[in-house]
Amino acid sequence: MSFSDEIRIISPTGWVIALLGGGLFSLLVFVMAHDAGMRRWPGVGQIAFFAGIPLFLIAALLLIAYINADARRRGMRYVMWTLLAIFLPNSLGIILYFVLRDPIPVRCRSCNSPVQANFAFCPQCGKEISSVCPACKRAVAPGWKRCAFCGGALPG
């Protein structure tokens, strides 16, 4: 999937929350700009503060909305992962999500139910999802000459 396809899974509510959060913070920063202490800052520092922090906040909120939508798509516990992304400090929840997330499920060609990508058979209808070893019945990747689990020879 391309980056634009991945961005499209963020819900409109997630976009609204991110933009409102960034806008409210920008308003707060604008009010702070009239503080005498802030006027003594160098121009580059003021620009970085006024533009950088709201953009960082918008990006963080969009990332949390992406985690919520992506966990739903993958059939994971999306509420738990969203809360971990929000409340674990130093972006640890976000990092953990991207390290531990499940693969995107595939659809069974027979019954169209979602199936984990590493399954050999559909748990709903029993049809074969991917090639299997004739000896141990485990899923094998295309192009393998021998089964990685039992060592048996694979056909063609």
The more confident residue out of 67 and 128 is 67
55 and 130 assigned to the same domain: no
Nearest 5°: the CA angle 144, 145, 147 is 75
pLDDT of 86 reads: 96
Kindly report which listed range (66-70, 88-92, 140-144) carries the lowest average pLDDT score.
140-144
CA 20/CA 16 separation, integer angstroms: 6
pLDDT of 94 reads: 95
| pTM: predicted TM-score of the whole model, two decimal places | 0.76
What pLDDT band is residue 56 in, cutting at 50, 70 and 90?
A: very high
78 and 130 assigned to the same domain: no
12 and 46 assigned to the same domain: yes
pLDDT of 64 reads: 96
125 and 94 assigned to the same domain: no
SS3 146: strand
Residues 97, 85 contacting (CB under 8 angstroms):
yes
- Number of compact structural domains in the chain: 2
What pLDDT band is residue 20 in, cutting at 50, 70 and 90?
A: very high
92 and 109 assigned to the same domain: no
SS3 11: coil
Domain that holds residue 112: 105-156
Residues 154, 147 contacting (CB under 8 angstroms):
yes
97 and 129 assigned to the same domain: no
100 and 61 assigned to the same domain: yes
What pLDDT band is residue 48 in, cutting at 50, 70 and 90?
A: confident
